[in-house]
Amino acid sequence: MGAEPKRISIEAARNLVLEHVSRLEDEEIALADALGRVLARDAVAPGDLPPFDSSGMDGYAVIATDTEDAPVALKIVGEARAGMLALDPVEHGTAIRVSTGAVVPEGADAVVRQELTEVEDGAVIVNEEVSAGNDVRYAGEDIRAGETILQAGTLLGSAEIGALAAVNIARPVVVRKPRIALVSTGDELVSPGRELEPGQIRDANAPALTAASHAAGAEIVTSVRVGDEREATVATLREAMRGADIVATVGGVSVGPHDHVRPALEQLGARQIFCRVSLKPGGQVCLYVAPDGTLAFALPGNPASALTAFRVLVTPAIYGMVGRDLTLHTARGVAATDLIGTIGRTSVIRCTAEMHDDGWHVTPNGDQRSHILTSMLGVPVLALVPEDCEVLRAGEPVDIEFVG
């Protein structure tokens, strides 16, 4: 493989990732399956919301001018419930009892809240004057027919799904989820739940990266483990690339006699885009592109390194494939304590965060060494200390990226 390539900046690496990403195809899905998916097209309301003038409160539908001399008595001539129309219109001197959400009866232009009334001998006593439009929800006051309610690229959460349902978009068109194949390497790895033999460690990376993939909006099509053997690595990667948009390997990415990932990818015809990024932890990360366009990320094996490299470089690839905007997950924070950097590397500090008047104040979450998995626990943000900064002092601004 020759001499090790020069490190490139995080920004350059991300740009190269996005240059080799293609947006995936659209698919139509049931609304019940839409949580966490990304809209492929603008969602345009086919009708008004509300679809009719409705009552905003329990009370009585009236003609507003009839209440000018309140208190006044108005004859009750019917009832309108949610889902049931009144049989008669409202005329001067009359009122119709209405429930919240009921269609405002014909002739009425206001609703008097129940607590402002009394009922006597088939009449309602209105104790306060109301104006036209009082407690009436007008058709289309929330959403008009033909209005774009959600733009392409929107991540669908509970509120967005509710809005789609309300305007009768039962099968939204979304971008297909990226398919990821995970390949863990190492003779020393065993699955959680098994007892360890001398020299063995449990594979924490595969479950962590599976969760990170799901959180970013991808699906795992396979998760396999291969020992430190060249031909087995080639065979495993060849199989992993079938049906995957992204292959993420963990471990075996260095140049030692038992590190076979990079030679195996090259044997399969994959082209190296970069290898080694000015990133700490996780700098020993490579991107290859297979002949069929599949992206192959070779991640380092230390837990914090693997997860950091995934979030900094693989997550943008996932977002790019579905049209999500990565900048929505970045912000400017404030260092609550000194943040220690490394000259020549962008130091990604796993941090806790508290919101203050001037923004998020971030604090390192314990030991930041690359093998310390507990530094990732309960961490909502990553703070990026620039590669030309040895110490970013408390109170200074810092770029942050939100996790998950």
The pLDDT value recorded for residue 1 is 52
Single out the residue in 324, 348, 366 at which a domain terminates. Answer: 324
Q: What is the DSSP string of 209-261?
A: HHHHHHHHT-EEEEEEEE-S-HHHHHHHHHHHTTT-SEEEEES--SSSTT--H
**221 and 269 co-located in one domain:** yes
If one counts the domains in the chain, the total is: 4
Domain extent, residue 261, equals 10-24+177-324
Residue 371 has pLDDT above 90, yes or no: no
* Residue 364 sits in the same domain as residue 245: no
Rounded-to-integer distance, Cα 190 and Cα 201, Å: 6
Percent of the chain surpassing pLDDT 90: 90
What's the confidence (pLDDT) of residue 266?
96
Do 163 and 281 share a domain, yes or no? no
Do residue 210 and residue 268 come from a single domain? yes
How much is the average pLDDT of 65-83? 97
Average pLDDT over residues 27-31: 98
Q: 341 and 371, same structural domain?
A: yes
Residues of the chain with pLDDT > 70, as a percent, come to 99
Residues 262 and 359 grouped into a single domain? no
Residue at 301 is within a domain: yes
pLDDT digits (tens, 9 = 90+) for 275-328: 999 999 999 999 999 999 999 999 999 999 999 999 999 999 999 999 998 877
Among the three residues 324, 353, 380, which one is the final residue of a domain in this structure?
Answer: 324
Q: Assess if residue 144 is contained within a domain.
A: no
Residue type, 345: R
Residues 132 and 73 occupy one common structural domain: yes
Q: Is residue 5 part of a domain?
A: no
pLDDT tens track for 332-357: 999 999 999 999 999 999 999 999 99
Same domain, 213 and 307: yes
User: pLDDT band at residue 3, thresholds of 50, 70 and 90?
Assistant: low
Print burial letters for 12-50: b (CB count within 10 Å at least 16), e (below 16): ebbebbeeebeebeeeeeeeeebeebbbbeebebeebbb
- Cβ 139 vs Cβ 51: under 8 Å: yes
Cβ atoms 179, 245 nearer than 8 A: yes
What pairing do the DSSP bridges indicate for beta strands 189-190 and 201-202? Answer: parallel
In angstroms, rounded to a whole number, what is the distance separating the alpha carbons of residues 379 and 404?
A: 10
Residue given tokens 């015809």 in the structure block: 269
* Domain identity same for 199 and 317: yes
CATH number at residue 393: 2.40.340.10
Q: Is the pLDDT of residue 139 over 60?
A: yes
Ranking 2-6, 26-30, 217-221 by mean pLDDT, the lowest is: 2-6
- Residue 65 lies inside a defined structural domain of this protein: yes
Predicted confidence (pLDDT) per residue in 39-70, tens digit:
999 999 999 999 999 999 999 999 999 999 99
Same domain for 199 and 253?
yes
- For residue 304, which of 392, 387, 364, 256 has the smallest C-alpha distance? 364
pLDDT of residue 326: 81
CA contacts within 13 A on the Cβ side of 34: 27
Residue whose pair of structure tokens reads 């070779």 in the numeric block: 298
Span 143-197, pLDDT tens digits: 999 999 999 999 999 999 999 999 999 999 999 999 999 999 999 999 998 899 9
CATH number at residue 162: 3.90.105.10
Same domain, 278 and 394: no
Confidence (pLDDT) at 2: 54
**In this predicted structure, what is the pLDDT of residue 329?**
85
Helix (H, G, I), strand (E, B) or coil at 97: strand
Burial of 117 (0-12, 13-18, 19+ CB in 10 A): buried
Cross-strand bridge partners of residue 295:
246, 289
- Count how many Cα atoms sit within 13 Å of the Cα of residue 47 in the half-sphere of its side chain: 10
Helix (H, G, I), strand (E, B) or coil at 313: helix
Q: Is residue 3 part of a domain?
A: no
The strands making up 59-62's β-sheet, listed across from edge to edge, are: 110-113, 59-62, 94-98, 72-80, 123-126, 117-120
The answer, yes or no, to whether residue 255 has pLDDT greater than 80, is: no
pLDDT at 4: 67
In a shared domain, residues 71 and 125: yes
Q: Of 76, 111, 137, at which residue does a domain stop?
A: 137
Alpha-carbon torsion 206, 265, 238, 258, what sign? negative
Rounded to an integer, the average pLDDT of 243-248 is: 97
Question: Does 395 fall in a domain?
Answer: yes
Looking at residue 105, the DSSP 8-state letter turns out to be P
- The CATH number of residue 319's host domain is 3.40.980.10
403 has a pLDDT exceeding 90: no
- State how far the Cα of 71 lies from the Cα of 67, in Å rounded to an integer: 7
Inside any domain, residue 143: no
In a domain, 317, yes or no: yes
